[in-house]
Structure 1
């Protein structure tokens, strides 16, 4: 899995890269570009691919009654996406503790490489039987910590930790 500790000293860790995603026609709004709601859909699909790598995908819900819920999300729209634009999302696991995952995703044009949007998220682990926040099982926590360690070696992209605020006026 990309993002795990490298076995070859020359290998450098990279964020997880999802498969190439396509924009669906019904996602285009009256402005002729991707409607803001569907950026979340693209980020969510990419995160689902990453969760499979961490062992917390759909089978995890069925076999271990655990899942994740997004607790907070901050999206930045930087450049328009249009119908037929191929896109790819990278996922960086910034930090984790026993119950939470802090991720930063970048949505890029898959062939041209330009940045369209970013999404920073706080995700919580849920015991689905109790429907309450709960610690990750030890084996999953070990896998998550390995990825956090590998991803800590990656240069942090611009935009992590930003907040929504009006620009301050200089006097």
Structure 2
């Protein structure tokens, strides 16, 4: 079933509403526990992708949603109690069943990046619980978002791998940063 098509407009990148680090999220180290970075990312994903039609109403009315398949998070700077943040979301790519996106949690007042997250989500039929293609109207909205976001620079952190660099790579990296 295809919903009536309405025009969509996207800022590049999408910027979430203001969010605040809650006292219950602070761990014994005195900063926000790593799990709550994902709460902030998840809230921003909901907010951002609801603009293309993938919100709670979509799941209720059309019996489909999108599920996280893979995420890669980099923690760059501590967040502390009551810090206010905004999360940016950039649609990197999509195909008939997947969306690939990049996000940054930024301190709302000072602008520094607290964490980045690269994600891949799958479109799922909620009745069969299987991956399925996006409906035409959602795919069209994703195309508009992608077109707008393709004007942004490709995030340098995309496709990062995790691991301890080999000594030779570390020495090469160290010598290249001295120049």
Give the structure-2-normalised TM-score: 0.88
Cα deviations by residue, 1:2-43 (Å, 9 ceiling, x for unpaired) = 963xxxxxxxx5200000101111100000000000000000
Aligned counterpart for 1:142 among listed residues 131, 140, 143: 140
The aligned residue for residue 157 of structure 2 is: 159
Q: Compared with structure 1, are the counterparts of its residues 2 and 169 closer, same or farther at alpha carbon in structure 2 (3 Å cutoff)?
A: farther
Between the two proteins, the alignment pairs up a number of residues equal to 163
Aligned counterpart for 1:65 among listed residues 63, 66, 74: 63
Query: After TM superposition, where is structure 1 displaced by more than 2 Å over at least 4 residues in a row?
Result: 1-4
Q: Greater shift after overlay, 96-105 or 142-151?
A: 142-151
Contact 1:2/1:16 (CA < 8 Å) preserved in 2?
no
Q: Compared with structure 1, are the counterparts of its residues 120 and 144 closer, same or farther at alpha carbon in structure 2 (3 Å cutoff)?
A: same
Name structure 1 gaps, 5 residues minimum: 5-12
SS of residue in 2 equivalent to 1:30: coil
The aligned residue for residue 28 of structure 2 is: 30
SS of residue in 2 equivalent to 1:101: strand
SS of residue in 1 equivalent to 2:51: helix
SS of residue in 2 equivalent to 1:54: coil
Aligned counterpart for 1:122 among listed residues 106, 115, 120: 120
Spell out the pairing of 1:31-110 with structure 2 (5 A cutoff).
31-110=29-108
Give the structure-1-normalised TM-score: 0.92
